[in-house]
Amino acid sequence: MNPQTTGKTIRPAEIRAMKQRGEKIVVLTAYDASLAAQLEQAGVEVILVGDSLGMVVQGHDSTLPVTMEDMIYHTRNVARARRRALLVTDMPYRSYTSAEQTLENAQRLIEAGADMVKLEGAGQVARFIEWLSQANIPVCGHLGLLPQSVEELGGYKVQGREQAAADKMVEDARALQAAGAEMIVLECIPMSLAGRITEAIDIPTIGIGAGPGCDGQVLVSYDLLGLTAGKRPRFSKDFLRETAAGQGIQEAIAAFVEAVKQGRFPTEEHAFK
């Protein structure tokens, strides 16, 4: 029975079952109640309160200035409109530097209405994920381009093109799964590597700039609606202009949902080799 038709809130187990059934998972960002309601109406399975709000809402050059208070505020706004979608919230920069801090901040986001929290990276992060899982806090991992580590990475660049880096990312994905992660976002990596990771783990992969081989796809809603100032990321698509032909926001979101479900987005045009 589909939770989208019963009104039942989607849980992590259902997202994993979608991977097992080969059904594509649709994820979009929201930062307020109005947009969250639009995503709900279109049947989006996962709503992400992303720290991307630092750039598209607050006007910063990166996600680094975003605070816990910002994430709590926006999570509460989205949670008020959420009915069925799984609600995932990013833990912002430097909000998970120790076990105690990670647990405390994750609990604050859960209390604000999140069903799951998302952490970037591997290594020590895998241990944090294990501790959160033991505390019954569902976690989403994030590998590839890590916006919170953009300065260390030398900018917004495709990750995992070298064989050693690709092999390590596969092992990192396995480690995050072993630690208890419920799903993993793969950002800006070669589509062949994304496919390899997707096959290597049992939990869903959600791609953004990772090609069509992932179990699901996520975009920043502002990119999808053509609202983002400046140059739009290569891996995104303005569904309002290019697909919905200016019909309206709801039609653009529905077009994205349908394109992901039918495997028509992303194409190689929106991926990296």
Beta bridge partners of 183: 140
Phi and psi (nearest 5°) for 83? Answer: -120, -50
| Cα diameter, the chain | 49
Looking at the chain, list the stretches that DSSP marks H as alpha helix, in order from N- to C-terminal side.
Answer: 3-6, 12-21, 33-42, 53-56, 68-81, 99-112, 124-134, 150-153, 163-179, 191-200, 221-224, 239-242, 249-261
> Choosing from 120, 130, 182, 187, which is the catalytic residue?
187
Encoded amino acid at 269, one letter:
E
**CA 102 to CA 50: how far, in whole Å?**
17
Contact 221, 49 (CB under 8 A): no
Phi and psi (nearest 5°) for 46? Answer: -130, 125
- 187 included as an active-site residue: yes
Beta bridge partners of 206: 185, 216
Q: Which tokens go with 77?
A: 């706004």
3-state secondary structure string, 135-156?
CCCCEEEEEECCHHHHHHHCCC
Active site residues: 187
